Amino acid sequence: MMNKISVWVLLLLFISCSPPGDDPIKEDTKKDSDWRTVSYQGKYGNYRYTQAELPDATSLFEIQTGTRYTGTSASPNVIVYSQGGPGEKLNSDFGYKDLFDELSTQSDWQVVKVYQKQILNLKSEFALAEITANEGAAAASWSSAALFKVAKYWNTTKGKKVYIISHSYGSFLVPKMLADWKYEDYVEKVLVLAGRLQMPSAVYDIFAAGNAIGFQDGDGDGLFRETVAPLEITRTATDAAYVPQDTVLTKTEFFYWTRNSRKLQSGVGQFDYVDIYQKNNVPLTKVLFASGKKDPAVGYFTDTEISFARTSANYHDSDGTHSVSEPADLKAYVRFLE
């Protein structure tokens, strides 16, 4: 009897002491009417947040201002922008202002920029100590859910036609949003620039460890699909050498933030979205994916990714780099949006 009791005590202690950030959210106890019925897992956990768990939508975005942005509250369309990075703060300007200039009637469009979790809680959660890869995945999923909440707000509460545009890290948050949420009920079009649908596991594992890696043309075919040598961020917090002038962080805080930012990227880059979309019949006809042949940051789409995007969604092939913003690219995006 004592042996059985001891076993149960040890089991209960193990369960109670397991770090909450390292386990996927129990979806059988949490429901959201806008959740898509999907089933998939990731190496570093799969997390979903209900809208009720997030702050009010009005605190999750900032309206873009500036002389070129002539849209007002009366404009029928709104661009909901998910920026790259991950950044310490919200960018001062919409990342694709040249695209905005190509729109036929700029006054018909308002631009809103969506906050991400690390922007709202930079020092308290991401700059004081190193987080786990699972905690990075949970934080990135929070940002993905916040993006959906803002898009839904502008459609249902403000009565606008919503167009989501994302770039780089933002274009990893969007594929997670497409998988988890019934975005098609509230969004007209989604433009996903310089992201990936099937990031190689060797790449996201490096990011999950707090380091970084990029891409190059390794075989001379002109396509950036081969990885470069990893950048290991191994200096101690007190020995961190590089701190940009525009950061609000100290040297030690910037060291932790740099490593933790990689874990945000692995958190949403870890999933095989081609497989997820196919198995769960995720509708993608409103989505355009764009990939740059010379993208050193996330790499150029593989043939599998291109084939899937062309047959199940929409695809644009760019001759450019990570910005995928050559003049021909911008014209293609505007044709898709309008």
Run means of pLDDT, 10 residues per run, the chain, 338 residues? 40 35 53 92 94 96 92 95 95 89 92 97 95 97 98 98 98 98 98 97 94 92 90 55 73 90 96 97 98 96 98 98 95 95
List the structure tokens of 81: 């922008």
Tell whether the torsion through CA atoms of 232, 222, 173 and 115 is positive or negative: positive
Amino acid 195: pLDDT:
98
- Cis previous bond, 86, omega within 30: yes
Amino acid 216: pLDDT:
94
**Distance between alpha carbon 22 and the CA centroid of its chain, in Å?**
20
Strands 77-82 and 189-193, by their bridges, are unpaired
Rounded-to-integer distance, Cα 154 and Cα 9, Å: 51
Amino acid 10: pLDDT:
35
Amino acid 8: pLDDT:
37
Rounded-to-integer distance, Cα 165 and Cα 102, Å: 15
Amino acid 2: pLDDT:
41
Vertex 269: Cα angle to 268 and 271 (nearest 5): 85
For 124-153, the DSSP string reads: HHHSSSPPPHHHHHHHHHHHHHHHHHHHHI
Rounded-to-integer distance, Cα 70 and Cα 85, Å: 27
Domains and CATH numbers, the chain: 39-337 (3.40.50.1820)
DSSP bridge partners of 166: 82, 192
